[in-house]
Amino acid sequence: MARLKALLRRQSGQLSQVITLNGVSLDEAGQRVCLEGETWRSLTATEFRLLRYLMLHPDRIHSKEQLLEQLYALIRMPPRLTWSKSMSLVCAVISANR
């Protein structure tokens, strides 16, 4: 769904919005991230939502539960995911993106 929205934004002539914080740039339209001086890296939808939330709320400490709630705030949690499996997913995404 996010990729479809990104395609529609590009077709309508809107410029992509880039959020930059402490040398990290997040391209909202392309769902990709770039560290200073490095190449852009594509993100999964989960990685993108989590990183975007953290970048928009930089000076706060977030619990795993808060991150999980934010991660799934816009979508329904797949039925096969239990709370503990979802928590493991959040931990894995954070570890992969450190």
Average pLDDT over residues 16-34: 89
Q: Where is pLDDT greater, at 8 or 22?
A: 22
pLDDT tens digits, residue range 28-81?
A: 989 999 988 889 999 888 888 888 888 898 888 888 778 877 777 655 555 555
Residue 27 has pLDDT above 90, yes or no: yes
Largest separation between any pair of C-alpha atoms in the chain: 42
Domain residue limits, the chain: 2-96
CATH class of the domain whose range is 2-96 = mainly alpha
Distance between CA 36 and CA 85 in Å, rounded?
33
- In this prediction, residue 14 has a pLDDT band, given cuts at 50, 70 and 90, of low
Which residues does residue 24 pair with via DSSP β-bridges, in sequence order?
21, 35
pLDDT of residue 67: 80
Could you tell me the pTM of the whole model? 0.61
Residue 10 has pLDDT above 80, yes or no: no
